[in-house]
Copies of this chain bind each other. A is one copy, B any other.
Amino acid sequence: MDDVILLAHGSGGRLSHDLVQKKLLPSLSNIMLSKLDDSAVFDASGRLAFTTDSYVVNPIFFPGGDIGRLAVCGTVNDLSMSGARPLYLSLSLIIEEGFSVSELERIVGSVKAAAEEAEVEIIAGDTKVVHHGQADRLFVNTSGIGIVAPGTDISGANARGGDKVILSGTIGDHGIAIVSQREGLKFSVAVESDCAPLSKLVAGMLEASHNIRCLRDPTRGGLATTLNELAGQSDVGIVIEEERIPVQSSVRAACEMLGFDPLYVANEGKLVAIVDADDAEKVLAEMRRNVYGGDAAIIGEVTESHRGTVLMRTKLGSSRLVDMLSGELLPRIC
């Protein structure tokens, strides 16, 4: 019990109860979770947002975070990207037999810290254990519920010609942090994952403007894939300026070495906002006041031509089509 996870920790019996009571609840305890009923019950009224994500990131500990922080931030961010204020998360663990109990406690500690930062509560949970070799260490699912304020209408389908495209900061940090940890690469300046909860950044933006059309976090598939999704959902064109897209020099160097295009590398603490042109500067100024928006920049605009596609004006002055990611760049990035 004190060392590694056993199959019996997933039995639903005595050892499962001990694991939950002694190792998980002390970190996560709140009134609803502690009741240990089959569901958590809470009061709500209004428009609610609901989302789910499973996290299979490898390695589970990486520079700038771990699977626990990622699982909270990823789901908090999905709620935020719908314009919701995140309220409640569930936490479901699939653990490989033999996994270290102390590592599990460390990850649950990260869950707790990230949840506190994002001001969400973990109110429902589940633990399963599979035989050694039937899962890779630990997979985590979080689902989340948030509340959307009246009048907020954010959707990938809302972009209009003339809108501005804002990016909240540098791209590629998460993907490069993961691949460098996985492959044991050393760079002169270490790259850390940007894994962060963007709920407060979004709250400030929504307060600054009622004319934010779309919000999306460029995770798997990177900025290029996210922009293509938005162009497709809204049936608009998008033009971005290469020189306006912030990329850390260490990330750029790593991408060159590895043959990656930063446009396709995953982020876990960035967002793309499509905003009415009249409000873009106001929203940008507000974003830059937040710790997770200091490098925010207007990187392009929405057009009514070349609908469904994304063009980039390169530093050399030419234009090129930026397609959605095809194939797989970095498996198990999140």
Distance, CA A92 to CA B75, complexed state (A):
13
CB-defined contacts of A17 to chain B, threshold 8 Å = 229, 324
From B145, B157, B216, give the contact of A50 (CB < 8 A): B145
A156 CB-CB contact with B under 8 Å: yes
Give chain B nearest CB distance to A329 CB in angstroms.
7
- With A13-B325, A44-B46, A220-B12 known as contacts, the answer to whether A52 contacts B90 (CB < 8 A) is yes
CB-defined contacts of A93 to chain B, threshold 8 Å = 54
Among the 9-residue stretches A33-41, A162-170, A276-284, the one with 4 or more Cβ atoms under 8 Å from chain B is A33-41
CB-defined contacts of A82 to chain B, threshold 8 Å = 37-39, 41
Mark interface residues in A16-46 (1 if CB within 8 Å of B CB, else 0). Answer: 1100000000000000000111111111111
Give chain B nearest CB distance to A212 CB in angstroms.
14
CB-defined contacts of A51 to chain B, threshold 8 Å = 38-40, 90, 124
Q: Which residue of B lies closest to A14 (CB)?
A: B326
Distance, CA A327 to CA B77, complexed state (A):
39
A331 CB-CB contact with B under 8 Å: yes
In contact, B11 and A50 (Cβ under 8 angstroms)? no
- With A45-B46, A135-B134, A229-B36 known as contacts, the answer to whether A91 contacts B52 (CB < 8 A) is yes
CB-defined contacts of A50 to chain B, threshold 8 Å = 39-42, 88, 90, 123-124, 145
Give chain B nearest CB distance to A51 CB in angstroms.
4
A126 CB-CB contact with B under 8 Å: yes
Distance, CA A139 to CA B129, complexed state (A):
12
A183 CB-CB contact with B under 8 Å: no
CB-defined contacts of A157 to chain B, threshold 8 Å = 35, 37
A133 CB-CB contact with B under 8 Å: yes
In contact, B92 and A141 (Cβ under 8 angstroms)? yes
A206 CB-CB contact with B under 8 Å: no
A247 CB-CB contact with B under 8 Å: no
A251 CB-CB contact with B under 8 Å: no
A320 CB-CB contact with B under 8 Å: no
Among the 9-residue stretches A2-10, A235-243, A311-319, the one with 4 or more Cβ atoms under 8 Å from chain B is A2-10
In contact, A52 and B141 (Cβ under 8 angstroms)? yes
Give chain B nearest CB distance to A132 CB in angstroms.
11
- With A14-B324, A50-B124, A136-B130 known as contacts, the answer to whether A41 contacts B148 (CB < 8 A) is yes
A47 CB-CB contact with B under 8 Å: yes
Give chain B nearest CB distance to A158 CB in angstroms.
10
From B46, B124, B135, B229, give the contact of A52 (CB < 8 A): B124
A84 CB-CB contact with B under 8 Å: yes
Mark interface residues in A270-300 (1 if CB within 8 Å of B CB, else 0). Answer: 0000000000000000000000000000000
Give chain B nearest CB distance to A9 CB in angstroms.
8
Mark interface residues in A223-257 (1 if CB within 8 Å of B CB, else 0). Answer: 00100010001000000000000000000000000
In contact, A141 and B54 (Cβ under 8 angstroms)? yes
Distance, CA A53 to CA B8, complexed state (A):
17
Q: A38-B217, A56-B130, A134-B332 are in contact. List 10 more A-B contacts (CB 8 A).
A: A13-B264, A37-B156, A38-B79, A38-B82, A44-B44, A44-B45, A50-B145, A52-B125, A92-B141, A92-B143
